[in-house]
Amino acid sequence: MSSSENQQSSVFANICQSCNIPTNCTLEATINFDGKTEIYRQEQHFFRRFTYLIEPKKGKTVPLKLMATPKGCISHNPNCPIGNVFNENGSLYGDFSPQKVFDDVLVYTKRTSEFSFGENNPISMLDSFIYRKGFTDDPRYRQRYGMRLSECGAAPFLTVPNAIKLLQVTLNPMTHGTALLFKEGKKHLASAQFDLILYREFKVSVEIGLESALEEKSNEARKAEQTANNVARGYRPTHSGWTKHTKKYGIKTGLGIKGEITSIIGDETVAFNTELKKEFLTNKNKLNLTNSIDTAFNKINSVLSSGNRVQYPLVSTEFCYPVLKIEGGIKTHQSSNYGVITQGNVSVGFAPLFGFQITVDLLTAFATYAHVDFVVNNAREFLEKNEEAVKEGNEGAYAKMVLELTFSCGLHGNFKFKTDDEGEFESDGRDIEIQGELIGNAHLEAGINYWGIQGFFEAGAEIAAKLNIAFDKEKGDDLTVVIYHEGIKAKVYTKYGVGKNRRRNSSLTSTNTTGGYKEWIIYEELNKDESDWRFVLG
């Protein structure tokens, strides 16, 4: 090269490195994937994703054409820029340059039939269906190719050795089965991703109902559960944290299911009906919606059992069995504008989603509130004594004492989703209502005659409250449900008297009597924003 040519090359190099003219020496690169064309023209951060639906009966290949056009500046290298195509294992599939056009097909080589039961598990698919997730992104049914374009930048090509790390992917250079070294430019320009997605379809028409009772776990069982959880997490094999991290109540046996689920993957169609119940009993814990029912019950029970910072003993607990009706279908679809998208609809109805009846004992808390705990405690202590004998003046105590709050609730409604033109799920309507009531059962009558002390105690209570339920967000696909109330209050009447006998077994001769109505706030108002009675439906 002459001295003037050296000077000219040096000037061009300085210009490309310092001025506002893009330093790339590539004019453009053309990507044509199944007739859809994208052109790279020196944009920064150029990346394109292409998708293609593989329907085996129509073929398992898709055409791809790649071309590069240089500006012919600094390097004067006719093979610059250079592009490489890799399969999803990082192996070289082909290359292109200004001197060489890549004009070939990408091939779907994965299975299109004879899938295992694990791949066709109806319960896992049902969970994905309800929560509308992962239908086009499952790597088991997707074959991915990638393209990387680079240029020399006034430097020689890099000869890439066998199996290097490039963009966090191990490359094992193979071109249609032939091992070789390949060329890379110094400067990365553009990249693209080509996903071949196998056709899938999922149809659902099922009903789910609880077939067993609710179980109250013993403390020993909860401690054993927490010990196992701690070991699984790599912690010490102790039951530390069992009161906070294990649930007091759980579904004892199993949920029942009836109906049919049909799965189509590639060439294979599988329908589940008689096998569905057995698989559901084995894998019911994989269904997040039923788990959320269990979580919601435990949450509300916990709040009711410890309202107003007072432990209210649990008298009884009944769980209303859920009835879920799940219908719809989802399939992969080739859109002319958006590539492979999800198309379909999801409908979940519940009558109820869950319901329960919880009765809590308010007597001890009420006795403390009304300052008559001495009467109640003595009455309980000597409850075995005969009522009539005490009324006749014999020593002992009798009691007819019930002050219970029964909280019943059933959650009814439905939610529906359908896909838009871009394959995104949007709400197609939702409705939710709470059917429930709070019932206060009050019957309090106590009397004592012991060591010369006589007393009586009577009380009545009218308890009322209004429960509300709503979605956390009025619009959109957030299905977080919130239960809230305006406070639980009682209108309480009390009357009691205490006196001292002149002689044992005589009538009461000196009694101080007190009575009147009071308002007793059992639970403070719980507004929607502050309520932690929250759970996600789908």
Whether the per-residue pLDDT at 320 is higher than 70: the answer is no
The stretch 464-485 carries a mean pLDDT of 69
Q: Are 172 and 165 in contact (CB under 8 A)?
A: no
Please, what is the average pLDDT of the chain? 71
Name which residue leads in pLDDT, 213 or 123: 123
Q: What is the pLDDT of residue 207?
A: 83
Mean pLDDT is lowest, of 156-165, 190-199, 517-526, for 156-165
Mean pLDDT to the nearest integer, 78-106: 89
pLDDT category at 244 given cuts 50, 70, 90 is confident
> Tell me, what's the pLDDT at 16?
37
pLDDT at 104: 95
Ranking 3-12, 301-310, 461-470, 528-537 by mean pLDDT, the lowest is 3-12
pLDDT bracket for residue 221 (50, 70, 90): confident
Q: How many CB atoms lie within 10 A of CB 161?
A: 10
Residue 310 scores a pLDDT above 70: no
Flag whether pLDDT at 327 surpasses 60.
yes
Give the CA distances from residue 11 to residues 3, 7, 177, 288, in Å, rounded to whole numbers and listed in that order.
Answer: 12, 6, 45, 66
- Whether 341 has a pLDDT exceeding 70, the answer reads yes
Output the CA torsion sign for 125, 328, 134, 201.
Answer: positive
Q: State what percent of residues in the chain have pLDDT above 70.
A: 52
Looking at per-residue pLDDT, the higher value among 56 and 514 belongs to 56
Residue 510 has pLDDT above 50, yes or no: no
pLDDT at 101 (0 to 100): 95
98-102 LR contacts (CB < 8 Å, sep 24+): 98/68, 98/69, 98/70, 101/65, 101/66, 101/67, 102/64, 102/65, 102/66, 102/67
**Contact criterion met (CB below 8 Å) for 187 and 220:** no
pLDDT given at position 179: 40
Residue 191 pLDDT grade (very low, low, confident, very high; cuts 50, 70, 90)? very high
More confident residue, 509 or 468: 468
What local confidence, expressed as pLDDT, does residue 195 receive?
A: 96
Q: Most distant CA pair in the chain: distance in Å?
A: 136
Q: Can you tell me the mean pLDDT for 218-222?
A: 84
Comparing 332 with 413, the larger pLDDT belongs to 332
187-198 and 46-54 as β-strands: parallel, antiparallel, unpaired? parallel
DSSP 8-state class, residue 423:
S
What the block records as the tokens of 38 is 């994208």
Question: What per-residue confidence (pLDDT) applies to 7?
Answer: 45
Query: Does 9 have pLDDT greater than 60?
Result: no
Q: What is the pLDDT of residue 96?
A: 93
Q: Are 29 and 18 in contact (CB under 8 A)?
A: no
Q: Which residue has the tokens 């991290």?
A: 245
pLDDT at 64 (0 to 100)? 97
| Structure-model confidence comparison of residues 433 and 149, the more confident one | 149
CB of 135 closer than 8 Å to CB of 200: yes
| pLDDT single digits (tens) 449-474 | 555 556 665 666 666 666 677 777 66
Which residue in this structure is represented by tokens 């109505």?
517
